[in-house]
Structure 1
């Protein structure tokens, strides 16, 4: 699982407790660092996905279901492409919370503190106490900026395709991705797929139990 920008591994581990055994979350670089230190340890999307593909290759030969949420969609697709080139088998890739049209390189890592705070408030999911407390806010923004800098190195070719089936998912109250843009993800698969709408906003994954059921169905070959 490739998380959204600024997310912690723990956030997704709690969500995936009810998923089939073997679920794992990719820990993004730049955690546990202040902004200055994180800026000195920049890594690229290529490095992250290469490391994930190597780790998966050593851990299992079973068919995989890979999920990417928001920023994580770009990394998930790149990882699937690399896995398939290396001979790995991915049955399904779940892409949620990001429009197919939003594939241009990121520039959000250059935003001011005020712009980053506004982004977090607009997305929802970040407690206001985090944004009001100086230390917690600085940590949250350093992590977010590091992830945005990583996303700036990822750019998916709109004409590229993977063999894995694609399931694109969005919340019905999420203003960012359009239904058309989410359906367009299916063009990136040679095997087709489906576009699913869930109840909730950008973080519908935590509010609609049907999403965990969807993951389970995909792992069990029913989705």
Structure 2
């Protein structure tokens, strides 16, 4: 099950911590999995492959967030024997948050949640892009900056790519957070300063969704701020993962000493 969900290009023999990246709407594991080469040898990075794209193209895209989260959480559960950091961008931030909630309910809470380019879950979701014609959906992808318009000019490419995009947009735009207690792990929100999808005030509301420490980082750029600033973003994620590793080791030692 883990093999279906996770792609790891740079596996480590005995990582001190793991970083798992969850893509944006319509996104694939490939670009995020490539980030692993930029981390130190004691950190292992995996990227999530949602159904309905790339090597999971034969599977239908998820039409229910709960089902998506259950499958992903089951795949991540074996990884929680070591400190685990979740990083989700945009739609991926919603999936990461709900996955953190599910793992917490299963007694295997992540050690840190990093949410990128997404307003806090208690703020209402909106939008009807998932109901719009293909041309409108393509225009929105180009506006956000995650896709080149010429790539989607080909109708055959659209037929393959847009069903997953539309399905993800539907889950993101119709998402409503269920009443639930806050997480206990640290939460870090990351945004682009000129992102039209989330501003600093909306990102700060993530603080209310954890009893643990909260931090907010803003980088120059828009919704895909990390594309031109990959190195500083990777340094931030590496620092967070390194801190999770240190904290996780201490917590495990304290637990063993008390038992």
Task: Indicate how the Cα distance of structure 1 residues 48 and 190 shifts in structure 2: closer, same or farther if over 3 A, else same.
Answer: same
Instruction: Give the equivalent residue in structure 2 for 1:177.
Output: 198
Instruction: Give the equivalent residue in structure 2 for 1:128.
Output: 149
What does the per-residue CA deviation read over 1:45-71, in whole Å, with 9 as the maximum and x for residues that have no partner? 111211222122223412211011001
Check the 8 A contact 1:105/1:155 in 2, yes or no: no
Q: Does 1:14 align with 2:34?
A: yes
* Cα root mean square deviation, aligned: 2.6
Rg comparison, structure with higher value? 2
What is the alpha-carbon distance in structure 2 between the residues aligned to residue 91 and residue 192 of structure 1? 11
Instruction: Give the equivalent residue in structure 2 for 1:188.
Output: 209
1:116 to 137, 143, 147: 137
Q: Does 1:211 align with 2:233?
A: yes
Instruction: Give the equivalent residue in structure 1 for 2:90.
Output: 70
Paired residues in the alignment total 220
Q: Does 1:197 align with 2:212?
A: no
Shift of residue 109 of structure 1? 2.1
Check the 8 A contact 1:73/1:95 in 2, yes or no: yes
What is the alpha-carbon distance in structure 2 between the residues aligned to residue 121 and residue 11 of structure 1? 17
Check the 8 A contact 1:98/1:177 in 2, yes or no: yes
Shift of residue 157 of structure 1? 3.8
What is the alpha-carbon distance in structure 2 between the residues aligned to residue 107 and residue 162 of structure 1? 29
What is the alpha-carbon distance in structure 1 between the residues aligned to residue 181 and residue 129 of structure 2? 25
Q: Does 1:83 align with 2:83?
A: no
Shift of residue 163 of structure 1? 0.6
Higher relative contact order (CA 8 A, sep 6+): 1
Instruction: Give the equivalent residue in structure 1 for 2:4.
Output: none
For structure 1, the residue ranges without an aligned partner over 5 or more in a row are none
What is the alpha-carbon distance in structure 1 between the residues aligned to residue 159 and residue 202 of structure 2? 33
Check the 8 A contact 2:101/2:109 in 1, yes or no: no
Instruction: Give the equivalent residue in structure 1 for 2:50.
Output: 28
Q: Does 1:144 align with 2:158?
A: no
Check the 8 A contact 2:111/2:244 in 1, yes or no: no
User: Scaled by the length of structure 1, what TM-score is found?
Assistant: 0.87
For structure 2, the residue ranges without an aligned partner over 5 or more in a row are 1-20, 246-259
